[in-house]
């Protein structure tokens, strides 16, 4: 079953075409890494898939056209930046994770005791239970990202979309984060769409690799990417060799 189908997707910002004619499918259980240079349309793609911006073409999410889609509790989303990571933001890590359950609630949105138990269990799953009472703004970059991942997971989504989740992390924290997402994909069957600027690192974990440069340049396995003559022409053979051997 395909959880996501995209046909001839194009997005324009005034006179600039950010994405042009992008077509692909993602099956349940896939782990797709979306890579490409700065300005290639990676974040634009995620925002379009979430219905956050106008586009031309077709997007079908979990069997429904995006304009008719209402099952957002099945989708987990971790954006590039969150406003509440300032040191002065008055919330604990646990309170941030609990807020991920609000998508299931009607107004007024308040958290129950069972919501806090669910959030604590999710934090334990990601091995950050010891952070629950600490202010979110006082955590390290790696700790904050794990808390935000817990927030995106606490309502048990079927699909997880991550936009540059490791950009501010040191190498050790980045590796730990990738391993956590890989385990969620393999052990819990969560379908993952992860945007990154780091082709080699994503290729190490993702089952498929999508390379964007305002249009679809490549979509397939990392092994196919490394053997692709088209990609060798695109990068130059030596650059392709360097990317693939970083894996």
Tokens, residue 138 = 């006082």
**What is the residue range of 56's domain?**
2-246
If one counts the domains in the chain, the total is: 1
- Which comes out higher in pLDDT, residue 213 or 198? 213
Q: Which pLDDT belongs to residue 36?
A: 93
Q: Which pLDDT belongs to residue 102?
A: 81
CA distances from 96 to 32, 100, 149, 161, 224 (A): 27, 7, 10, 18, 40
Q: Which pLDDT belongs to residue 58?
A: 97
Q: pLDDT tens across 147-161, in order?
A: 999 999 998 899 999
Mean confidence (pLDDT) of the chain: 89
Q: What is the dihedral of CA 33, 185, 136, 52, to 10 degrees?
A: 50
| pTM of the complete model | 0.88
User: With the C-alpha atoms ordered 68, 74, 79, 85, is the resulting torsion angle positive or negative?
Assistant: positive
Q: What is the dihedral of CA 192, 194, 198, 202, to 10 degrees?
A: 0
* Strand ranges, E, within the chain: 2-13, 16-27, 31-35, 56-61, 64-65, 75-78, 159-163, 191-195, 208-212, 216-220
Q: Which residues are within 8 A (CB) of 179 and not within 5 positions of it... i.e. 6 or more apart?
A: 205
Mean pLDDT of 206-231: 94
Specify the DSSP class assigned to residue 106.
P
Domain of 125, CATH number, reads: 3.40.50.300
For residues 50 and 212, the answer to whether their CB atoms sit within 8 Å is no
């Amino acid at each position: 079953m395909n959880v996501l189908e995209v046909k001839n997707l194009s997005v324009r910002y005034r006179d600039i075409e950010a994405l042009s004619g992008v077509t692909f499918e993602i099956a349940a259980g896939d782990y797709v890494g979306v890579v490409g240079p700065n300005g290639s349309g990676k974040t634009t793609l995620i925002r379009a898939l979430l219905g956050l911006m106008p586009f031309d073409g077709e997007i079908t999410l979990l069997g429904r056209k995006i304009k008719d889609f209402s099952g957002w509790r099945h989708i987990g989303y971790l954006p590039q930046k969150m406003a509440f990571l300032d040191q002065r933001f008055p919330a604990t890590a646990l309170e941030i994770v609990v807020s991920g359950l609000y998508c299931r609630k009607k107004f007024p949105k308040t958290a129950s005791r069972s919501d806090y138990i669910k959030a604590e269990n999710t934090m334990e799953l990601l091995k950050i239970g010891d952070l629950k009472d600490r202010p979110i703004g006082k955590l390290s970059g790696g700790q904050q990202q794990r808390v935000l991942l817990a927030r995106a997971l606490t309502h048990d989504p079927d699909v997880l979309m991550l936009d540059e989740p490791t950009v501010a992390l040191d190498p050790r924290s980045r590796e730990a984060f990738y391993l956590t997402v890989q385990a969620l994909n393999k052990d819990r069957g969560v379908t993952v769409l992860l945007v990154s600027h780091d082709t080699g690192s994503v290729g190490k974990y993702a089952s498929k690799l999508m390379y964007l440069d305002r249009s679809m340049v490549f979509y397939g396995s990392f092994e196919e990417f490394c053997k692709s003559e088209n990609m060798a022409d695109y990068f130059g053979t030596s650059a392709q060799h360097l990317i693939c051997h970083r894996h």
